[in-house]
Amino acid sequence: MKSFCFPLITSFFLVILFSFTALCGHQLIPPGSGRVPEYSNPQTPVIVRVGQQFSISLESNATTGYKWQMATPVPGGIIKLVTTRFAPPGTNLIGAPGRQKWLFQATGPGRTVIRLEYARPWEKNTAPAKRAVFNVIVR
């Protein structure tokens, strides 16, 4: 009985540990590692250190005319926008979505938000199809 319980209990705790890490949603990438954490879920807070870069990536389908746009300017003093780009889909299927990506740099400690809207740029008096708000904490 004892030899059966130990592996079972160990496995249970490992599953709990990995589940907790995944549910926290934080990307444990140390600053200076050369890797840039990428966030695609607005419900996951972006937590970075001053000087660290991070990326936001959202699904976007350019063939529909919709694109993600900054709903409000990037607040200065805490983060700055470095670059933005569209990553095409990894398939040749017509109408397949790609990803819109923004690269930010954390410039000072504090909290701020990044507000994005998925809309057609020429439809000025129409509500966006989607909104995404990312909470950013810079330590």
Q: What is the CATH number of the domain that holds 66?
A: 2.60.40.2020
Look at residue 6 and tell me if it is in a domain.
Answer: no
Which pLDDT score, from 0 to 100, does residue 57 have?
98
Number of structural domains in the chain:
1
pLDDT tens digits along 74-102: 878 999 999 999 999 888 888 899 999 99
Q: Which two tokens stand for residue 111?
A: 């909290």
Range of the domain at 94: 28-138
- Residues 6 and 30: their CA atoms lie apart, in Å, by 33
- Indicate the pTM of the whole model: 0.73
H/E run at residue 115: strand 110-119
In order, the DSSP letters of 46-83 are EEE-TT-EEEEEEEE-GGGT-EEEESSPPPTTTEEEEE
Look at residue 13 and tell me if it is in a domain.
Answer: no
In this structure, are residues 136 and 112 in contact, taking their beta carbons and an 8 Å threshold? yes
Pick 25 or 60 by higher pLDDT. 60
